[in-house]
Chains A and B, each alone.
Chain A
Amino acid sequence: MHDLHAILFIAALFCCTSTFAAEKYENATPWSYQRILRPVVPVVKDATWPKDDIDRFILARLEKDSLHPIGDASRLTLIRRASFDLLGLPPTQEEVERFVHDSAPDDVAFAKVVEAFLQSERFGERWARHWLDVVRYADSVGRVWNAPFLYAARYRDWVIDSLNADKPYNRFVAEQIAGDLLPATTVLQKRDQIVGTGMLALGSMDLQEGSYEQFLLDQVDDQIDVVSRAFMGLTLSCARCHDHKTEPVSQKDYYALAGIFHSSRTLSGTPNRNDEARGGYVSAEALVDLPTALNERVGPPTKLPAGVHSMDDIRTMGNPKETVRYDHDPHFCMGVIEGEIKDCELAVGGKVSDREAAPERGKFGIPALPPLPKIPAQSSGRLELAQWMTQPTHPLTSRVAVNRIWQHLFGEGIVRTVDDFGTTGSDPTHPELLDHLAIRFVEGGWSVKKMIRTLMLSRTYRLASTGNPEHPDAGNKLRWRMNPKRLELEPLRDTLLQLAGKLALDRPEGIQVVGTGGKGRHGVTRGLLSIEDPYRTIYLPVVRDNVPELFSTFDFPGPTQIKGQRDVTTVAPQALFFMNNSMVDELSAEIAGKTGKDVKGVYRLVLGREPSSEEVRDAGELDLQTLVQALLGTAEFRYVF
């Protein structure tokens, strides 16, 4: 980590001193490209309300419109909110009791709750899924030949572990771009960093594309798209065929960036049909073999272990009666390594066959953004890109990151379009607050947990969520109250299992996808875990074009898309799920069984509160299992208030 910081520091210095000749750009430079200047914390009239500078920014804006924040949420509401936000699971009854009856002042008592949740391993499982939405995570390549990604889960687990370990965000970013090139002090660290590059290999590609160069350019485009949108909120891939229509980004800039990825080799384990790797569309030869010593070369395996590791391995078995499982190898992962180093020729109109001179890789001159450090002749430039992206003064990386964190806690970003900070994105509702947070984030060592803790201990986070249609800011743009949040698929399903005492907290072992991507019983790629299996939802395989119906019903994002903000829909099939689904039926019976014959116990367990006397009376009309099922279907259960 020290090494990395040193490198980043040097990179930052270097960036400040080097300049490139500026190109002419027709489009205006958006606010988000501008340097972050430390905003002055505003003075507020009601000095007793704020607990943190965050609150001062919020309150000052409200006071400008003569508005006031609503009252605080009750401790009962607050612990449920915190638990779902951090763990994706309800608090246990003991946790609720302890907090509600804690004689310590609210600030102290709540800080203890937040701290305990942040230390839980469930935290990483909850927050990793937010990130996986952004990086189009899937367990298969999708498209024409839907081959399985045998080692995508390794990247998924890397995200979970990175979050639990509170890996600094700048390092989290750098490892995904250039983990193989970053210095490491131990071999374990080196292996860990390389797994991070799996993010670049998760794209949905057409493995049967006949032109290999076309395939490579498509892959590079996917990588530019995900890197620019996930980390910077910029849509740079729009400049593939022409200068960007709305951003000050030229086609030359695009190919300067493309040269970096074009000089890298992507090892997804699912090679294009013209790739040099053998093994068919599923091939261990197209994976990264993790080093077992620090000085070991990183590349595809030179020798394959025994077992089933490729499509060819399965084909040689003839037509087996049983489903053939792939063997897991602890040394394999998806990732990116250095390739043949060469700049990428500009493709006129995006056409592979119509090429012009290649711009020097890394030499892009997007206005206001710092230039990239000079790329050595024998390097792809991914290391320099990672350094550039994570320098403390980069105007976008920290802004985009804190905005994503804010969104997951407050329901809506300060910039609503979390993946688009460009001209077409929405303006920040609180621009100074955003910059304030970005600076605090960087100064706090890019600690995600620290940022989450800060946000949650603000008074703004602790507000009640009760709405008011007559309020002048009924849409809550100014944050006078908390937004109620719909429970997404994962916390919803995990909670059902948890309440029934069925949730398994371990990770499924081995490779949980089968198939080759072809046709027929053994060809079609599928996951081996269904929604009935007791694992947390994040561990269920996501096979592109074969996502479980339940996922789509509850707004799981299409796994080919970069989607930092999920849709929230209310459709009848959701109600049908609660009314009739056999899993809900069984789990309701289990939950009812755990609560004795006690209506109050059911309310405590399912909704985390005592029922009113009217509710007790009404509940008496239903048998206990039917009551549990009913409560699971209520809006109260499906929202976090």
Chain B
Amino acid sequence: MPTRRSILQSTSTGFGWLAFNALHQQWASAAAPPKTINPLAPKVPHFAAKAKRVIFMFMQGGPSHLDTFDYKPELAKAEADKVQKYMGSVFEFKPRGKSGIMISEAFPELAKHADDLCLLNGMQTRTNAHQMATVALHIGSETFVRPSMGAWIVYGLGTEAEDLPGFVTINPVGDGGAMNYGSAFLPASFQGTRLVSGGGGVPDLSNGRLSDAQQRKQIEFIQKANRKLLSGDPGNPEIEGIIQSYELAYKMQTSVPEMLDLDKEPQHIRDMYGLDESETERFGTQCLMARRMAEKGVRFIQLGSPGWDHHNNLRESLARQCTSIDKPIAGLIADLKQRDMLKDTLIIWGGEFGRGSGYDNEPYNGRGHNGGGYTMWMAGGGVKGGFTYGSTNDLGNTAETGIIGTHDLHATVLHLLGINHERLTYRYAGRNFRLTDVSGEVAKAILA
């Protein structure tokens, strides 16, 4: 009688977060026997690339670039000269690392890794409205419902996570909701799995009634029935898929909680991420989860941090926000580095837009939205470290050089993963769709 192991070995591919297309979707034009295809099996990229996975840290609300990563001495002067409502940085900037890139005092820990960061000071988005800009950043369109960046990437590359989803989003933000990690017209297996920090999220992972032994017996019973069905109907490879899905599901009952169990991490690692400090616990937890998932081969990991919409009280609020992520991100970079994983993990940090150069309305101590020029940064996976790309004008509200729009950003991320953004297409409604629609230019200057 075949054992579980022999059945697993009888199939040719690893089954990741296993999924098959239906038999009936395959025959398209072929008279040949349909092949069982796992759409999430790892795929070869278009060309060799350094980045194998992405950790995307989304800062909801629009973090101020002018007080963090975009140094504007002219703006301070304009404030001193009382020109209009201009407002200089509320934090002091310093050259950091060997590269001397300018980062404000809001990020003391992260600044220590300046030589790993690639600042993108010429970011631009089309709208100054939170929801639309957020959705555009995630799916490439503010006007249509489209698959999210993570879904496209998993569609293009599959996943290397044996028993985990290929696309995970931890504590997703409200603006745009499920659209930000949805698959739209791509099959649902490519959409992001939503987790909340501290575990939970993947439903139905444990059984309250059956012991492990009882459940194993139950699964053996199901599998025997399925194998019998398959032997009588060998032309139906989907049954093979169902058999595999049970084995994987059984494994996931232990592997997912194990991955999410941060108590397994030694104290010195927990300290690196600031897990035991109240200000940094929330984002530190997300960062540490991200590292554990990255190690297991999850392809696209998204982290969410809310609360960056500082229309007033910018100094205090922004300082608090920066503190909440500063140590966790620094810890993550250091931890990935010591595991030799930073080189193939692409970290992306940023919000839906930046903030304006002038005071916002009363009480005149915050900034409004600014999509015309702002900063995101990347680190690891094939980007230059200690590098500043692009710039805004002297007052910091309009991107002037090295401009990266939404489609350019996506084209660049795909390129770093070895995907030609013009060739990653999906046919729907009679035409080939792309994450980058009909434009997008790779920011070649930032490639290491």
Enumerate chain A interface residues (CB-CB to B < 8 A): 142-146, 204, 206, 208, 218, 225, 229, 235, 237-238, 245-247, 411-412, 416, 419-420, 422-426, 465-477, 483-484, 486, 519, 545-547, 549-550, 552-553, 555-556, 558, 560-563, 567-577, 579-582, 585, 615, 618-619, 621-622, 625-627, 629-631, 633-636, 638-639, 641
Residue B102 at the chain A interface, CB threshold 8 Å: no
| Beta-carbon nearest neighbor of A626 in chain B | B218
- Also in contact, A545 and B235, with CB within 8 A (given A569-B20, A634-B222): no
The answer to whether A567 touches B21, judged by C-beta atoms less than 8 angstroms apart, is yes
- Also in contact, A572 and B17, with CB within 8 A (given A235-B430, A549-B203): yes
How many angstroms from the CA of A232 to the CA of B21 in the assembled complex?
A: 27
Q: In chain B, residues 209-233, which have Cβ atoms closer than 8 Å to a Cβ of chain A?
A: 209-210, 214-215, 217-219, 221-222, 224-226, 229-230, 232-233
The answer to whether B229 touches A585, judged by C-beta atoms less than 8 angstroms apart, is no
Instruction: Jot down 30 A-B pairs with beta carbons below 8 A, ordered by A.
Output: A235-B431, A411-B24, A422-B430, A466-B232, A466-B235, A474-B31, A474-B32, A476-B24, A476-B27, A477-B27, A483-B24, A484-B233, A545-B176, A546-B177, A549-B203, A556-B188, A558-B183, A561-B145, A569-B189, A572-B245, A579-B218, A579-B219, A579-B246, A580-B205, A621-B221, A622-B218, A626-B214, A630-B225, A631-B225, A633-B246
| Beta-carbon nearest neighbor of A473 in chain B | B31
Q: In chain B, residues 234-250, which have Cβ atoms closer than 8 Å to a Cβ of chain A?
A: 234-236, 238-239, 241-246, 248-250
The answer to whether A208 touches B131, judged by C-beta atoms less than 8 angstroms apart, is yes
The answer to whether A570 touches B18, judged by C-beta atoms less than 8 angstroms apart, is yes
Most buried by B among A573, A581, A639, A641: A573
Most buried by B among A245, A483, A618, A635: A635
How many angstroms from the CA of A120 to the CA of B253 in the assembled complex?
A: 42
| Beta-carbon nearest neighbor of A419 in chain B | B429
Nearest Cβ in chain B — how far from A469, in angstroms?
5
The answer to whether B239 touches A635, judged by C-beta atoms less than 8 angstroms apart, is yes
> Of A145, A425, A567, A630, which is within 8 A of B188 by CB?
A567
> How many B residues have CB within 8 A of the partner chain?
84
Contacts of A585 in B (CB 8 A): 207-209
Nearest Cβ in chain B — how far from A486, in angstroms?
7
The answer to whether B246 touches A575, judged by C-beta atoms less than 8 angstroms apart, is yes
> Of B34, B218, B253, B430, which is within 8 A of A474 by CB?
B34
How many angstroms from the CA of A622 to the CA of B218 in the assembled complex?
A: 7
> Of B21, B233, B427, which is within 8 A of A568 by CB?
B21
- Also in contact, A569 and B184, with CB within 8 A (given A246-B431, A618-B221, A634-B229): no
Q: In chain B, residues 5-51, which have Cβ atoms closer than 8 Å to a Cβ of chain A?
A: 17-34, 39
Residue B54 at the chain A interface, CB threshold 8 Å: no
Residue B185 at the chain A interface, CB threshold 8 Å: yes
| Beta-carbon nearest neighbor of B236 in chain A | A467
> Looking at chain A's contact residues, is the secondary structure mostly helix, strand, loop, or mixed?
loop
Nearest Cβ in chain B — how far from A425, in angstroms?
7
Residue B179 at the chain A interface, CB threshold 8 Å: yes
Nearest Cβ in chain B — how far from A605, in angstroms?
16
Q: In chain B, residues 171-200, which have Cβ atoms closer than 8 Å to a Cβ of chain A?
A: 174, 176-179, 182-185, 187-189, 191
Most buried by B among A218, A553, A630, A638: A630
The answer to whether A545 touches B430, judged by C-beta atoms less than 8 angstroms apart, is no
How many angstroms from the CA of A579 to the CA of B253 in the assembled complex?
A: 10
The answer to whether B17 touches A634, judged by C-beta atoms less than 8 angstroms apart, is no
The answer to whether A552 touches B188, judged by C-beta atoms less than 8 angstroms apart, is yes
How many angstroms from the CA of A339 to the CA of B163 in the assembled complex?
A: 55
How many angstroms from the CA of A575 to the CA of B135 in the assembled complex?
A: 32
The answer to whether B431 touches A206, judged by C-beta atoms less than 8 angstroms apart, is no
The answer to whether A469 touches B235, judged by C-beta atoms less than 8 angstroms apart, is yes
> Of A468, A475, A519, A630, which is within 8 A of B27 by CB?
A475
- Also in contact, A571 and B232, with CB within 8 A (given A546-B178, A618-B221): no
The answer to whether B20 touches A146, judged by C-beta atoms less than 8 angstroms apart, is no
The answer to whether A576 touches B204, judged by C-beta atoms less than 8 angstroms apart, is yes
| Beta-carbon nearest neighbor of A214 in chain B | B143
How many angstroms from the CA of A580 to the CA of B388 in the assembled complex?
A: 51
Residue B206 at the chain A interface, CB threshold 8 Å: yes
The answer to whether A571 touches B218, judged by C-beta atoms less than 8 angstroms apart, is no
| Beta-carbon nearest neighbor of B214 in chain A | A626
Contacts of B202 in A (CB 8 A): 573, 576
The answer to whether B177 touches A570, judged by C-beta atoms less than 8 angstroms apart, is no
How many angstroms from the CA of A255 to the CA of B203 in the assembled complex?
A: 47
> Of B21, B187, B236, which is within 8 A of A484 by CB?
B236
Residue B83 at the chain A interface, CB threshold 8 Å: no
| Beta-carbon nearest neighbor of A423 in chain B | B430
How many angstroms from the CA of A560 to the CA of B429 in the assembled complex?
A: 13
Contacts of A571 in B (CB 8 A): 17-19, 189, 245
The answer to whether A474 touches B135, judged by C-beta atoms less than 8 angstroms apart, is no
Residue B319 at the chain A interface, CB threshold 8 Å: no
| Beta-carbon nearest neighbor of A233 in chain B | B430
The answer to whether A471 touches B204, judged by C-beta atoms less than 8 angstroms apart, is no
The answer to whether A412 touches B24, judged by C-beta atoms less than 8 angstroms apart, is yes
- Also in contact, A576 and B205, with CB within 8 A (given A473-B31, A474-B33): yes
* Given A474-B34, A580-B206, 10 new contacts (CB under 8 A): A424-B427, A426-B28, A474-B32, A567-B188, A569-B22, A572-B17, A576-B204, A579-B215, A615-B225, A618-B224
- In the A-B complex, the 7 residue pairs with the closest CB atoms: A467-B235, A475-B27, A568-B22, A575-B249, A474-B33, A235-B430, A570-B241
Contacts of B177 in A (CB 8 A): 146, 545-546
| Beta-carbon nearest neighbor of B40 in chain A | A571
Nearest Cβ in chain A — how far from B240, in angstroms?
9
The answer to whether A633 touches B222, judged by C-beta atoms less than 8 angstroms apart, is yes
- Also in contact, A638 and B182, with CB within 8 A (given A569-B20, A571-B189): no
How many angstroms from the CA of A574 to the CA of B132 in the assembled complex?
A: 33
- Also in contact, A555 and B431, with CB within 8 A (given A475-B26, A568-B22): no
The answer to whether A579 touches B214, judged by C-beta atoms less than 8 angstroms apart, is no
The answer to whether A475 touches B30, judged by C-beta atoms less than 8 angstroms apart, is yes
Q: In chain B, residues 252-307, which have Cβ atoms closer than 8 Å to a Cβ of chain A?
A: 252-253
How many angstroms from the CA of A571 to the CA of B17 in the assembled complex?
A: 6
The answer to whether A570 touches B19, judged by C-beta atoms less than 8 angstroms apart, is yes
How many angstroms from the CA of A235 to the CA of B225 in the assembled complex?
A: 44
How many angstroms from the CA of A632 to the CA of B204 in the assembled complex?
A: 16
| Beta-carbon nearest neighbor of B36 in chain A | A570
Q: In chain B, residues 311-370, which have Cβ atoms closer than 8 Å to a Cβ of chain A?
A: none
Nearest Cβ in chain A — how far from B435, in angstroms?
16
- Also in contact, A580 and B132, with CB within 8 A (given A469-B234, A558-B183, A563-B185): no
Residue B129 at the chain A interface, CB threshold 8 Å: yes
- Also in contact, A475 and B221, with CB within 8 A (given A246-B431, A424-B431, A558-B185): no
> Of A245, A424, A573, which is within 8 A of B204 by CB?
A573
The answer to whether B249 touches A579, judged by C-beta atoms less than 8 angstroms apart, is yes
How many angstroms from the CA of A180 to the CA of B233 in the assembled complex?
A: 52
- Also in contact, A575 and B235, with CB within 8 A (given A630-B221, A636-B229): no
- Also in contact, A570 and B218, with CB within 8 A (given A146-B177, A563-B185, A585-B209): no
Contacts of A563 in B (CB 8 A): 185
- Also in contact, A475 and B31, with CB within 8 A (given A144-B132, A235-B431, A563-B185): yes
| Beta-carbon nearest neighbor of B215 in chain A | A579
Nearest Cβ in chain B — how far from A285, in angstroms?
24
Nearest Cβ in chain B — how far from A623, in angstroms?
9
The answer to whether B145 touches A560, judged by C-beta atoms less than 8 angstroms apart, is yes
| Beta-carbon nearest neighbor of A474 in chain B | B33
Contacts of B215 in A (CB 8 A): 579
Contacts of B21 in A (CB 8 A): 567-569
The answer to whether A206 touches B143, judged by C-beta atoms less than 8 angstroms apart, is yes
How many angstroms from the CA of A547 to the CA of B143 in the assembled complex?
A: 21
Contacts of A465 in B (CB 8 A): 233
Contacts of B225 in A (CB 8 A): 615, 630-631, 634-636
The answer to whether B203 touches A581, judged by C-beta atoms less than 8 angstroms apart, is yes
How many angstroms from the CA of A470 to the CA of B235 in the assembled complex?
A: 8
Nearest Cβ in chain B — how far from A516, in angstroms?
14
| Beta-carbon nearest neighbor of B232 in chain A | A466
The answer to whether B429 touches A420, judged by C-beta atoms less than 8 angstroms apart, is yes
The answer to whether A567 touches B221, judged by C-beta atoms less than 8 angstroms apart, is no
